[in-house]
Amino acid sequence: MKANKYFSLFIVLALLATLTIGIQAQDDVVTIEYWQYFFEARQTAMNQLIEQFEAENPDIDVIHNSEIPYDNFRDEIAASAPAGVGPDVVTLFYGWIPAFVDAGYLIPLPEEDFPAEWIESYFSPMVAESKFLDEYWAIPTAVRSLALFYNIDMLEAAGYDAPPATLDEFLEMAQALTIYDGEPDILNIVQEGYVPEMTGQAHHWFREALLRQYGGQPFGEDNRTVEWNSEAGCQAFKYLSDFETDYMTGSNDLFDGGTQAFINGQAALHIDGSFRIGSIASGNPDLNYGVAELPAGADGSQHTFGSYWTHGITRQAEADEAKLEASVRFLKFITSVEAGILWVNEVGELPAQLEAASDPTLLEDPILGPFSAGLEYAHATFFVDETQQRQHLIDAYDQIRLGGMDPCDALNDAAELEQTLLDEFWAAHSE
């Protein structure tokens, strides 16, 4: 009796199994999986792109996974890899590429579909940073640069009709725009002039803009030596930390951080990427703000930091010829000029293809224009371990403001750690 029951259950299960296999076999459609971290505007934009792509390519079905929060994104990819599931096409921060390449997770972009010359002549120059070990491993839809956000009301109230154009003006205005309740002291600030937010974009501003404007460069020619602790670096870092320690124009410890302070209308000047436009629109749509190019150096030189999220093909896709072919087609589609234009309108990030980025209407846009102009002089840092390298500068900055350390000493200590990191990285690549 009992045995019979189990037997019939087994038969039912077996039938179900064959049925599902049958359904799968009948299907000619190739299914590929695409992953990106959760960011509402990106999700919407990508959904539109996928819809267009599937309409043009009825033989490909794209599963879009964009529900993973930024903080867990890498863990989820890491958890999916050993399980043999996960994305065929994945969007990663450009600074993570070396680590993912070292793990053998990404495959080089097929040269016949994505020729190096084509990438180099049609894409923003910073995309060349994706080149690692002489290969391109990923390619973006859009790129971002840093620019200066300013609160128009606060500037007007202080008698300014234009944002600062040079570093000297920036310092002077940051001071004039800071309002204290009582003695000038960090703890008495009610309106911040400028907040050096190291956990935000300030470390990028230092590394790629300030440092160069003071005559230095972040790394040696081949990215093997740390040079941001040079004499120029020391001066540039002091310029940055003085805002908090000497001029007391703001602190990241106040008002839930510098970015939040600007969004809430508690800070006058703020340096951030174009992706912040969206957070302002959702966080405080009434904020009366403008955007300008980053202040120029004493010699008139302009620099900014450029970065991007970039798409690569995983080794999982490579294992199946049909999936690889579908992934290549999908990747070409989402990195086209048209995709870039859709992206800038939905997300506010600038098209990675120069043709779309140099569009006159884009350059004339009062909010996006300054970011677009910055693409010409943007530098994307070559990161071997973005998290650690960022932490080095955060710690150096904290040593100054909390430990009372001299900026040059703090920078030297951090540079020592960074050099060890670079040495380890390059030692692993010389084998």
d(CA 412, CA 226): 10
For the bound state, the minimum distance from the C-beta of residue 100 to other proteins, rounded and expressed in Å, comes to 6
In whole angstroms, give the CA distance from residue 80 to residue 73.
11
Beta-carbon count within 10 A of 411 CB: 29
Residue 399 parent element (H or E): helix 386-401
CB nearer to other proteins: give 102 or 376: 102
Query: Which one, 172 or 398, has the nearer CB to other proteins?
Result: 398
State the minimum distance, in angstroms, from the CB of residue 254 to other proteins: 6
Identify the burial level of 76 via C-beta atoms within 10 angstroms of its C-beta, where 0-12 means exposed, 13-18 middle and 19 or more buried.
middle
Q: Which long-range contacts (CB under 8 A, 24 or more apart) does 391-398 make?
A: 392/417, 392/418, 393/198, 393/203, 393/206, 393/207, 394/198, 394/199, 394/203, 396/237, 397/196, 397/198, 397/202, 397/203, 397/237, 397/240, 397/241, 398/198
Residues at the interface with other proteins (CB under 8 A) = 2, 74-75, 77-79, 81-82, 99-100, 102-105, 186-187, 189, 199, 252-254, 315, 385, 387-388, 391, 394-395, 398-399, 402-403, 413, 417
In terms of CB distance, is 124 or 252 closer to other proteins? 252
Give CA–CA dist 296/167, Å, rounded.
6
Q: Are 344 and 146 in contact (CB under 8 A)?
A: no
Q: How far is the CB of 4 from other proteins (least distance, A)?
A: 13
What angle is formed at CA 245 by the lines to CA 243 and CA 251, rounded to 5 degrees?
A: 65
Q: How far is the CB of 237 from other proteins (least distance, A)?
A: 16
We find the least distance from the C-beta atom of residue 388 to other proteins, in angstroms, to be 7
d(CA 212, CA 218): 8
In angstroms, the CA 329 to CA 332 distance is 5
In this complex, which beta carbon is closest to other proteins, that of residue 100 or of residue 239?
100
Please identify, using beta-carbon distances, which residue of 84 and 366 lies nearer to other proteins. Answer: 84
Closest distance of CB 261 from other proteins, Å? 12
Residue 81 or 408 having the CB closest to other proteins:
81
How far is Cα 267 from Cα 264, in angstroms, rounded to an integer? 8
Buried b (16+ CB within 10 A) or exposed e, 250-277: bbbebbebbbbbbbebbbbbbbbbbbbb
Count Cα neighbours of 270 within 13 Å in the Cβ-side half-sphere.
31
Q: Cβ 394 to other proteins, closest distance in Å? A: 7
Q: Which of 16, 402 has the CB closer to other proteins?
A: 402
Smallest Cα–Cα separation from 317: which of 51, 26, 21, 62? Answer: 62
CB of 263 to other proteins, least distance (A): 17
Nearer to other proteins, 149 or 255 (CB): 255
Q: To the nearest whole angstrom, how small is the minimum distance from the Cβ of residue 82 to other proteins?
A: 6
For other proteins, the closer of residues 8 and 388 by Cβ is 388
Distances (CA, A) of 307 to 273, 280, 318, 372, 378: 9, 20, 27, 13, 9
Q: Which is nearer to other proteins, 2 or 26 (CB)?
A: 2
In whole angstroms, the minimum distance from the beta carbon of 200 to other proteins comes to 10
| Residue 22 Cα to chain centre, angstroms | 44
